[in-house]
Amino acid sequence: MTALVIGAGPAGLMAAEQIARAGHAVTLADAMPTPARKFLMAGKSGLNLTKDEPPEALAAHYPEAWIRPYVTSFGAAQMQAFARDLGIDIFTGSSGRVFPTGMKASPFLRAWLARLDSLGVTRHQRWHWTGWDGTAVLFNTPDGPQRLTPKVCVLALGGASWPKLGSTGGWAEALKAKGVLLTPFQPANMGFHIDWSPHMQPHFGNPLKSIALITPTRSLKAECVLSARGLEGGGIYELSAELRNGAPLALDLLPDTPLDALAQKLAKPRGKASLSNHLRKITRLDPTKLALLNEWARPLPSDPIHLARRLKHLPTPLGAPFPITEAISTAGGIAAKALTDSLELTAIPNTFAAGEMLDWEAPTGGYLLTACFATGYAAGRAAARRLSTLPAA
C-alpha cells in the first residue's frame, strides 16, 4: 500500500481520487457500513453543491482567512465541472445555488464511487480507526485488528455534528496524543433556544418571511422558522457564529419600509380602533409577526415613532444554541497553526487533513460542501506530490 485515506465523505473521496489519478495505490477506509452518509443525508432535501459566485465573492463567506485560498483555487466553477465530469446534470437556481437536476445525492455518489473503483482505489467499510502505534495506523475491522504502514495518509474524519452518520469527533484524542494543536468543537449552523410563552404555540413551524435579522455588525434579509424550542433556519444559521459568541439579535419585521415612512403611516388617525387593530390594518403584518410583537414588545408604545422603532428593531431574547449533535456543522477541530499550506500536520510528517476536521466554518448554501471538496482536493494533490519525492521501496 502506498497511500491511506481515512474517511469516505466528500473530502476523503476527493483526496483518494487525486492520489489515484497521480498513479498511486490508494486504500480508503471508513468506519460506517456505507460511505458518505452525511453527504447523502444533506442531499435528501436537495443537494446544494455550491454557490455560483466568483472566487473572491465565494471566499468572502468563510470567516477564517486561512481557508480562503483553497476555496478560491477549487471553487464554484471547479465544483460544477467536477459534477458534469461525473455525468451529473446540474442547474443554478434563482439564488445562485447549484443543484443536480435530480436534486438527490445518491446518483452523484454512485457515479463517484464507480470512478474511484475504475481508478483502482481499494475501499473498506466498518474499519474503525483507533490511532497509531509508532508509525503504524491501527484499525478494528470485521476481520480483526489491522495494522497498516502507508507512505502517506490523509485524514478526513469529519467534525462532531450528526454523530449517528459517522462524524463523532472521536479522533481528537488520538491527534492530541500526537501533539496536534486542536481548537474546541462548537456547534455551527444551528438554532437557538427561546423560552416561549404558551400563546406562541399555534405559530410553531411557521416561517418568518420578509424580515431582516440585525446584529451589531450587519442586517441580513433572510428567513427563519419558529419551532417549539426556539428559532432556526437559514437566516439564523448564517449568523450563528456571531450569535453563538454572544451578539444580540433583533428583528426588522418590515425591512422594505423606511422608519420615517412607517411612523407616518402609524400616525394616521385610528378613530375608535384599538392600537392592535390599527397596527394590523396599517402594517398588514401576518399573525406570526404580530404574535412575536406581542411576545416581546408588550406594552406596545402608543407613540407612532416609538412603535415604528419597535417594529424595525424588535429585540430577540435568544437562549443557548442547540447542541452540537443537532448542528448542521461544527466549528473547531485541527487548528490552522497545526498545518502547513499543503494541509500537512506539522506534528505528524506525511499525514494530511481535510474537510470538517479542520477549524473553519461557513454558512449553509453550498459553502460547506465546497470547502470539503476544496480541502480534499488540496490534501490529495499534496499527498500525491509527496509520494513522488519518497523512495519507491
- Cell digits for 155? 485524514
Rounded CA separation 86/111 (Å)? 6
* Burial class of 98 by CB neighbour count within 10 A (0 to 12, 13 to 18, 19+): buried
Q: What is the pLDDT of residue 30?
A: 97
Residue 1 pLDDT exceeds 90: no
Rounded CA separation 377/312 (Å)? 45
For the segment 341-370, the average pLDDT, to the nearest whole number, is 96
Q: What is the mean pLDDT of the chain?
A: 95
Rounded CA separation 243/229 (Å)? 16
- Cell digits for 213? 435579522
Q: What is the pLDDT of residues 100-144, one digit of tens each?
A: 999 999 999 999 999 999 999 999 999 999 999 998 999 999 999
**3-187+324-389 carries CATH number 3.20.20.70:** no
Domain boundaries of the chain, sorted by first residue: 3-187+324-389, 192-316
- Cell digits for 14? 476527493
Rounded CA separation 363/242 (Å)? 12
337: confidence class by pLDDT, cuts 50, 70, 90: very high
Q: What is the pLDDT of residues 136-176, one digit of tens each?
A: 999 999 999 999 999 999 999 999 998 999 899 999 999 99
